Amino acid sequence: MTVDRRKFLGLTGGGGVLALCAGTGLLPRLAAALTSPLAAGDTRKPFEASTLDAVIKAFGGAASQASGDIDLRAPEIAENGAVVPIEITSKLPGTKLIAIVSEKNPHALSAAFHIPEGTEAWISTRVKIAETSNVVALVQTDKGFFHAERLVKVTLGGCGG
Protein backbone atom coordinates (compact mmCIF):
# COMPACT_ATOMS: atom_id res chain seq x y z
CA MET A 1 0.00 0.00 0.00
CA THR A 2 1.39 3.40 -0.95
CA VAL A 3 0.70 6.41 1.19
CA ASP A 4 1.03 9.81 -0.38
CA ARG A 5 1.97 12.92 1.58
CA ARG A 6 -1.62 14.20 1.94
CA LYS A 7 -2.88 10.88 3.27
CA PHE A 8 0.06 10.60 5.67
CA LEU A 9 -0.52 14.11 7.03
CA GLY A 10 -4.24 13.42 7.31
CA LEU A 11 -3.65 10.22 9.23
CA THR A 12 -1.05 11.63 11.61
CA GLY A 13 -2.13 15.28 11.89
CA GLY A 14 -5.28 14.69 13.93
CA GLY A 15 -3.51 12.53 16.49
CA GLY A 16 -0.69 15.03 16.75
CA VAL A 17 -3.10 17.88 17.44
CA LEU A 18 -4.88 15.86 20.15
CA ALA A 19 -1.57 14.86 21.72
CA LEU A 20 -0.41 18.48 21.67
CA CYS A 21 -3.69 19.67 23.23
CA ALA A 22 -3.55 16.96 25.89
CA GLY A 23 0.08 17.74 26.69
CA THR A 24 -0.55 21.46 27.10
CA GLY A 25 -3.82 21.17 29.03
CA LEU A 26 -5.91 22.53 26.16
CA LEU A 27 -7.91 19.34 25.63
CA PRO A 28 -10.75 20.40 28.00
CA ARG A 29 -11.03 23.75 26.19
CA LEU A 30 -11.02 22.01 22.80
CA ALA A 31 -13.78 19.69 24.00
CA ALA A 32 -15.80 22.64 25.34
CA ALA A 33 -15.44 24.48 22.03
CA LEU A 34 -16.61 21.43 20.09
CA THR A 35 -19.65 21.01 22.35
CA SER A 36 -20.78 24.65 22.37
CA PRO A 37 -24.37 25.26 21.22
CA LEU A 38 -23.20 26.71 17.90
CA ALA A 39 -20.74 23.86 17.29
CA ALA A 40 -23.50 21.33 17.84
CA GLY A 41 -26.04 23.18 15.69
CA ASP A 42 -26.05 25.25 12.55
CA THR A 43 -23.32 27.88 12.88
CA ARG A 44 -24.67 29.78 9.85
CA LYS A 45 -27.87 30.93 11.58
CA PRO A 46 -26.41 34.09 13.21
CA PHE A 47 -24.73 35.03 9.92
CA GLU A 48 -28.06 34.86 8.06
CA ALA A 49 -29.67 37.48 10.33
CA SER A 50 -30.41 40.89 8.83
CA THR A 51 -30.79 43.02 11.99
CA LEU A 52 -29.04 43.41 15.33
CA ASP A 53 -32.07 41.98 17.16
CA ALA A 54 -32.10 38.94 14.88
CA VAL A 55 -28.37 38.37 15.52
CA ILE A 56 -28.96 38.52 19.28
CA LYS A 57 -31.85 36.03 18.97
CA ALA A 58 -29.70 33.69 16.87
CA PHE A 59 -27.10 33.69 19.66
CA GLY A 60 -29.83 32.83 22.20
CA GLY A 61 -30.45 36.27 23.71
CA ALA A 62 -33.45 38.58 23.93
CA ALA A 63 -32.00 42.11 23.88
CA SER A 64 -28.81 44.06 24.51
CA GLN A 65 -28.03 47.19 26.45
CA ALA A 66 -25.45 49.89 25.77
CA SER A 67 -22.25 49.68 27.80
CA GLY A 68 -19.35 52.07 28.36
CA ASP A 69 -17.13 49.07 29.18
CA ILE A 70 -16.86 48.18 25.48
CA ASP A 71 -14.21 50.06 23.52
CA LEU A 72 -15.02 50.03 19.79
CA ARG A 73 -12.39 51.55 17.52
CA ALA A 74 -13.24 52.06 13.87
CA PRO A 75 -12.44 54.86 11.42
CA GLU A 76 -14.95 57.69 11.10
CA ILE A 77 -14.47 57.58 7.32
CA ALA A 78 -13.56 54.33 5.57
CA GLU A 79 -11.84 54.97 2.26
CA ASN A 80 -12.43 51.39 1.18
CA GLY A 81 -15.53 49.63 2.53
CA ALA A 82 -14.02 46.25 1.65
CA VAL A 83 -11.33 46.45 4.35
CA VAL A 84 -12.47 48.48 7.35
CA PRO A 85 -10.22 48.00 10.40
CA ILE A 86 -12.12 47.28 13.62
CA GLU A 87 -10.71 46.85 17.13
CA ILE A 88 -12.88 45.89 20.11
CA THR A 89 -11.92 45.57 23.77
CA SER A 90 -14.41 44.38 26.38
CA LYS A 91 -13.81 45.24 30.01
CA LEU A 92 -17.00 43.40 30.99
CA PRO A 93 -16.31 40.46 33.32
CA GLY A 94 -17.14 37.02 31.94
CA THR A 95 -16.99 38.02 28.26
CA LYS A 96 -17.85 34.94 26.18
CA LEU A 97 -18.40 36.38 22.70
CA ILE A 98 -17.49 39.47 20.71
CA ALA A 99 -19.37 40.05 17.45
CA ILE A 100 -19.29 42.78 14.80
CA VAL A 101 -22.65 43.81 13.34
CA SER A 102 -23.39 46.24 10.49
CA GLU A 103 -27.12 46.39 9.81
CA LYS A 104 -26.82 47.82 6.29
CA ASN A 105 -24.85 44.81 5.09
CA PRO A 106 -26.88 42.08 3.32
CA HIS A 107 -26.01 39.86 6.31
CA ALA A 108 -25.69 41.99 9.44
CA LEU A 109 -23.19 39.80 11.31
CA SER A 110 -19.70 40.36 9.92
CA ALA A 111 -17.66 38.36 12.44
CA ALA A 112 -18.05 36.50 15.74
CA PHE A 113 -15.27 35.53 18.12
CA HIS A 114 -15.73 33.13 21.03
CA ILE A 115 -13.55 34.24 23.94
CA PRO A 116 -12.26 31.38 26.14
CA GLU A 117 -12.43 31.89 29.90
CA GLY A 118 -9.30 33.52 31.27
CA THR A 119 -8.33 35.26 28.02
CA GLU A 120 -8.15 38.97 27.35
CA ALA A 121 -11.36 40.04 25.59
CA TRP A 122 -9.76 41.90 22.69
CA ILE A 123 -10.06 41.43 18.93
CA SER A 124 -8.68 43.25 15.91
CA THR A 125 -9.77 42.48 12.36
CA ARG A 126 -10.93 43.98 9.08
CA VAL A 127 -14.50 43.68 7.85
CA LYS A 128 -16.47 44.62 4.77
CA ILE A 129 -19.10 47.33 5.20
CA ALA A 130 -21.45 47.78 2.25
CA GLU A 131 -22.43 51.39 2.90
CA THR A 132 -22.39 54.09 5.57
CA SER A 133 -23.92 52.64 8.73
CA ASN A 134 -23.57 52.13 12.45
CA VAL A 135 -21.10 49.39 13.30
CA VAL A 136 -22.06 47.60 16.51
CA ALA A 137 -19.73 45.72 18.84
CA LEU A 138 -21.93 43.06 20.45
CA VAL A 139 -20.59 41.38 23.59
CA GLN A 140 -22.10 38.39 25.37
CA THR A 141 -21.31 37.85 29.06
CA ASP A 142 -22.71 35.74 31.88
CA LYS A 143 -25.18 38.59 32.52
CA GLY A 144 -26.50 38.93 28.95
CA PHE A 145 -25.72 40.96 25.83
CA PHE A 146 -24.20 44.44 25.71
CA HIS A 147 -23.23 46.71 22.82
CA ALA A 148 -21.37 49.81 21.71
CA GLU A 149 -21.76 51.46 18.32
CA ARG A 150 -20.01 53.88 16.00
CA LEU A 151 -21.04 55.47 12.70
CA VAL A 152 -18.65 54.57 9.89
CA LYS A 153 -18.97 56.55 6.66
CA VAL A 154 -18.01 54.53 3.60
CA THR A 155 -16.80 56.77 0.77
CA LEU A 156 -15.32 56.34 -2.66
CA GLY A 157 -11.67 57.36 -2.52
CA GLY A 158 -12.02 58.84 0.98
CA CYS A 159 -13.62 62.09 -0.23
CA GLY A 160 -16.00 62.22 2.70
CA GLY A 161 -19.05 62.40 0.45
CATH class of 43-154: mainly beta
In the predicted structure, residue 4 carries a pLDDT above the cut 90:
no
Contacts of 7 (CB under 8 A, 6+ apart): none
Measured CA to CA, the distance from residue 132 to residue 156 in angstroms comes to: 11
- Residue pLDDT, tens place only, 92-143: 999 999 999 998 888 999 999 999 999 999 999 999 998 999 999 999 999 9
Does this model's pTM top 0.75? My answer is no
pLDDT of residue 37: 46
Q: Hey, which bits of 1-120 come out as E strands?
A: 64-66, 70-73, 77-78, 84-90, 97-102, 109-114
